[in-house]
Amino acid sequence: MKRQMVRSWQEETAELELQAQKGQRCHRFACNTCPYVHNVTRKVTNRKYPKLKEVDDVLGGAAAWENVDSTAEPCPKCEHPRAYFMQLQTRSADEPMTTFYKCCNAQCGHRWRD
């Protein structure tokens, strides 16, 4: 007697299709290439949250601060008299540009915006 191998949907590359059963309030997953069917008996949820970008990533990282000018703007954290600055358009074009500052003191490096 020969044994026949039955392939399951997990061994195939086919995806399961969500189907609504006619006349009932229940749903099921069904494979289009094999007879596999799984009735959904309870609510299934799965939440995925995207990884938030760091402020440095949005502003261009450390490389964005390499060739910027400095101005006589005191640091609110260490009171160093000078700060590097750059201006970016963060809102709509009819709004003024946002000025970002970074303290010139290497030990501080505090960042703020105006």
Specify binding-site residues for Zn(2+). 31, 34, 75, 78, 103, 108
Query: Following CA atoms 11, 16, 21, 26 in sequence, which dihedral angle do they give, to the nearest 10 degrees?
Result: 90
SS3 62: helix
What residues are designated binding site? Answer: 31, 34, 75, 78, 103, 108
**For the CA atoms of 64, 66, 74, 110, what is the dihedral angle to 10 degrees?**
60
